[in-house]
Structure 1
Amino acid sequence: MDWKNMLRVADVLKLVENWNEQQPLKGTSEERDFVPVAKLFNPAGAGTWLITECNEDGLAFGLVDFGYPELGYFDLNEIAEVRLMGGFVRIEQDLHFQADKPLSKYAEEARFHGSIKA
């Protein structure tokens, strides 16, 4: 499955837009602290991703939680290939997620609580 099929079209466009805006700013004091655009989750167990940006190839940045929240890069292609419970369940986008703060605040709260609360 193509990673773009896992997310709403508007979210894919915003993630790529954020990536393109962020790249020239990486490592500078102007680096952006975006509000997460999308939340993915494992409906059968552990695994939550808050995504702020990604490139056209599916390399994404965000907050990931598998029992220990971490900021970092991950491959949306790999996430799109995950099959659970005999292949019938996939990682899903939380269509009701509405980010209300920048990613750094979600990360701060996740470190405090031990998991993402979103």
Structure 2
Amino acid sequence: MTETTQTPMPLLTPDQRDQLLANGRQPGGDHVPVVKFFNPVGVGTWLATELDADNDTCSGLADLGFPEIGSFSLEELAALELPFGMHIERDVFFTGAFPISAYAEAARETGSITTAIRILSNAARAQHGERT
């Protein structure tokens, strides 16, 4: 039996990288998250809003058991070796709808980014439904 090595999905698409870099050139803004990363086998969710010119340091909201605004390294996320040959993944279905401050507030109130996303997504759908 041969063992296959799974190649992880790139953490960022070129468009996401461009948007994060553009946001990074406008620091201090309350940007809408561009991308969500998550640990598929455990704790860990990250929402990225900005990327520094070093192409490694992201700013955003991280949740490793307690949600907090800060910075994190793409290189470190990509290098994490998880059980079962898994890696940190990019949520291909995530689309930010609110500024990062809204996600941070909801995450602090609910205790997790995942729950905050669900609540804010439901609010956005309800808001959209009222307009149509």
TM-score (norm 2): 0.76
Q: Following TM superposition, by how much is the alpha carbon of 1:41 offset from its aligned partner in structure 2, in angstroms?
A: 0.3
Matches within 5 A, 1:17-96: 17-22=22-27, 31-57=28-54, 58-86=56-84, 88-96=85-93
Higher relative contact order (CA 8 A, sep 6+): 1
Determine the C-alpha separation between the residues in 2 that align with 1:94 and 1:109.
19
2:100 to 99, 103, 107: 103
Backbone CA RMSD of aligned residues: 1.0
Describe the superposition over 1:23-79 as per-residue Cα deviations: whole angstroms up to 9, x where unpaired: xxxxxxxx3100000000000110000000012421110000011000001111111
SS of the counterpart of 1:44? coil
Runs of 4+ aligned residues of structure 1 deviating over 3 Å after TM superposition are none
SS of the counterpart of 1:6? coil
1:13 to 15, 18, 24: 18
TM-score (norm 1): 0.85
SS of the counterpart of 1:71? strand
Q: Which has the larger radius of gyration?
A: 2
Provide structure 1 residue ranges, at least 5 long, that are not aligned to the other structure: 23-30
Determine the C-alpha separation between the residues in 2 that align with 1:6 and 1:34.
19
Partner of 2:127: none
Percent identical residues: 43
> Size of the alignment, in residue pairs?
105
